[in-house]
Structure 1
Amino acid sequence: MNFTSDHNWISESLEIGKEMLYLSQKEVLGIGLSEKEILNLTKDALIAHGKKEYEMPAKIGVHPFPEVFFHAMPAYVPSKQAVGAKWIECYPNNPSKFQLPQTTGLLILNDVSSGCPIALMDSAWITAMRTPAVTSLAAEALHPDAETFGMFGCGIQGIEHVKYIGHTLKKLKKIYIYDVREEAMDRLIQEVQPKISVEIVKGKNPEEVTKSCEVLSSATVILKEPLAVIKDEWVSRGQTIIPCDMNTFLDPVTSKRADKYIVDSIEEHELFDQMGYFPDGLPKIVCETGEIIAGVKKGRESKEELIVCSNIGMAVCDVVVGREIFNQALANNVGVKLTL
């Protein structure tokens, strides 16, 4: 890595210290990063995390209302010259109450050499992409021969999970989906089925989906009191469960009895435990997702193992994906330069 060269390259297009590049959500989307590119960038970030080649404190937050959160998420990944912070919020009632997205946010990037801000961009799309990428990479590492995948929650995250999972689980034959909103399941099928070859099946209820799938994921809401919709008695040995909603949708008993409980960030899960998000106690953590991806720790060691891999989102992924968007935007003269 050559930070001086990187600084000089940015300086060719941007007057560092006097201006920064602003990218709207439309411009971030317009860069055109493919799902495979997002997967590769996310994998690089996870490997750096697994090899401890990063700096990232646990995300702190504020909570104006019981059901919402704001998170501050800084990170530094030297191998990508990526340093910055995401400020993101989740308001589950926004769609029905204000006709606004549930999740919005911004990502700021800085020049490593000087520390000066170089970019400010929408982060909602980045979050929506890197989250299913992490799930898909974890599924590949922990259950590569899976023929069935189940997705609970058919919002933005659910839609993207169903799009992404086929890139890594090459033997998939069926994808089961479930949402309490019938229209959400219909919308997902209408949007995604024409784009993928794997059959999407609308689940009748959570029990059917749980019992039908080798790999399961959930992207619902994050609550302090678990909903425990996926009952422990429905879960069998040999399954892999990869929740994005921490301790909400899955029965906490399942996580505690799993042969392996893996998390993306131990520090972040311990922080959430201190804040009361694991009222029954944080399960014993075996290792981190990045350590599995990097080959530092072993993943599945037998077909009979029940594995739970909880990924609640890491800033290393955001800054790595964001930095690539910035690189391409700068190279292609995309965005608006703002005076500092």
Structure 2
Amino acid sequence: MQLRMLYLKQEDVIKAGVLDFDAALKDIEEVFRMMAKGEVVMPPKVAMDLYFPDGSPKGHLVAMPAYIKSLGIAGIKWAAGFFKNPELYGLPHGMDIIVLSDPESGRPLAIMDGTLITAVRTGAVAGVGAKFLAPDGASVAALIGAGVVGRAAGLALCSAMRGLSEVKIYDLKEEKARRLVNELPVDARSVRSAEEAIRDSDIIITATTSHSQFVKLEWLKKDCLCIELGKNEFEDSVILNSGVLVVDYWEQIKARSWVSLTRLWRDGLLNESRIKSIIDVV
């Protein structure tokens, strides 16, 4: 048998429909249901954290394998996240590739750009989470971070929550927030601070690369949904005072020592029994 392999650049991935958020939401929801049925094999991520000489985080490289039995496909994503790439090299913070293989023979089937796929997948998880966990009548959302992942989260949220009437967007770079305002299919506006965006919002999504927690408990409504995509944006008091804590895959998260939720659990401040999985609510 002659081995042939498909190679997809980012432009090819776009042509294949990666930016169809309605389809992405449907696919993510279906995969969560497959996970609940035990149809997905997803070993723990293998992460390699890298640091600058002064000990500050430089970035990470992560291997993420998975196999979906019912679809007959296996693959792995090799994900790079380097926080200072934009300012040091003019490169994106995240750059990923995906390799797909035939699970019967191990034959490589495709190598593709995974950067946009990662962003859309992450945004779609936020959208699915909002669909099932947002408070009744939720109509106002806050989006902190208007980068690639923030944009995907905003578009996915608008697809998942048709009742949204307003999205308030904040980014350290105001021009990025203003650009996203024009892309969302709802009434959206750029605001001057994270606090201004978050106060009186029913749904709060953070999608930043911040290493310092900045979202304060007193900014939040009593009944709201907080979705943390950047893993370190909410102060400990927000996490510890939450009525319900839901993650996509706890076994993966608790392997990352720098994630707020993991740190609180390891320090004995958060009982693991409080943490639920999204597959239990979808």
TM-score, normalised relative to structure 2:
0.89
Q: 1:56 to 1:238 in 2, by over 3 A?
A: same
The alignment-based identity, stated in percent, is 25
Query: Over aligned residues, Cα RMSD in angstroms?
Result: 1.8
Instruction: Give a deviation string over 1:292-325, Cα, whole Å, max 9, x none.
Output: 11xxxxxxxxxxxxxxxxxxxxxxxxxxxxxxxx
CA contact (8 A) 2:203 2:225 kept: yes
Partners of 2:114 and 2:61 in 1: CA distance: 13
Partners of 2:264 and 2:124 in 1: CA distance: 29
The one of 195, 198, 201 aligned to 1:213 = 201
Residue 241 in structure 1 maps to residue 230 in structure 2: no
CA contact (8 A) 1:145 1:169 kept: no
Residue type of the partner of 1:41? D
Unaligned runs of 5+ in 2: 52-56
Hey, what does 1:269 align to over in structure 2?
Answer: 253
Partners of 1:189 and 1:238 in 2: CA distance: 25
Residue type of the partner of 1:24? K
CA contact (8 A) 2:201 2:221 kept: no
- Runs of 4+ aligned residues of structure 1 deviating over 2 Å after TM superposition are 50-53, 275-286
Deviation of 1:51 after TM superposition, in Å, equals: 2.9
Deviation of 1:82 after TM superposition, in Å, equals: 2.3
Hey, what does 2:119 align to over in structure 1?
Answer: 128
Hey, what does 2:281 align to over in structure 1?
Answer: 292
Deviation of 1:41 after TM superposition, in Å, equals: 1.3
CA contact (8 A) 1:49 1:291 kept: no
Unaligned runs of 5+ in 1: 1-14, 294-340
Partners of 1:290 and 1:38 in 2: CA distance: 16
Deviation of 1:280 after TM superposition, in Å, equals: 3.7
Partners of 2:115 and 2:14 in 1: CA distance: 10
Deviation of 1:289 after TM superposition, in Å, equals: 1.0
Residue 73 in structure 1 maps to residue 61 in structure 2: no
Hey, what does 1:84 align to over in structure 2?
Answer: 75
Q: 1:222 to 1:89 in 2, by over 3 A?
A: farther
Residue type of the partner of 1:178? Y
Instruction: Give a deviation string over 1:6-48, Cα, whole Å, max 9, x none.
Output: xxxxxxxxx56x2321111111111124221111111111111
Instruction: Give a deviation string over 1:235-293, Cα, whole Å, max 9, x none.
Output: 232111011112x11112211111111111110122124x6754443634431112211
Secondary structure of the structure 2 residue equivalent to 1:68: strand
Partners of 1:238 and 1:175 in 2: CA distance: 17
Residue type of the partner of 1:160? A
Residue type of the partner of 2:160? T
Partners of 2:217 and 2:58 in 1: CA distance: 25
Structure with more relative contact order (C-alpha pairs < 8 Å, separation 6 or more): 1
Hey, what does 2:35 align to over in structure 1?
Answer: 49
The count of corresponding residues between Structure 1 and Structure 2 is: 269
Residue 140 in structure 1 maps to residue 131 in structure 2: yes
Hey, what does 1:172 align to over in structure 2?
Answer: 164
Listed as ranges, the matches of 1:279-318 within 5 Å are 279-281=263-265, 283-284=270-271, 285-293=274-282
The one of 88, 100, 112 aligned to 2:91 = 100
The one of 29, 32, 40 aligned to 2:14 = 29
Listed as ranges, the matches of 1:313-328 within 5 Å are none
Secondary structure of the structure 1 residue equivalent to 2:5: strand
Partners of 1:53 and 1:32 in 2: CA distance: 25
Hey, what does 2:153 align to over in structure 1?
Answer: 161
TM-score, normalised relative to structure 1:
0.75
Secondary structure of the structure 1 residue equivalent to 2:34: helix
Larger radius of gyration: 1
Deviation of 1:188 after TM superposition, in Å, equals: 1.6
Partners of 2:58 and 2:280 in 1: CA distance: 32
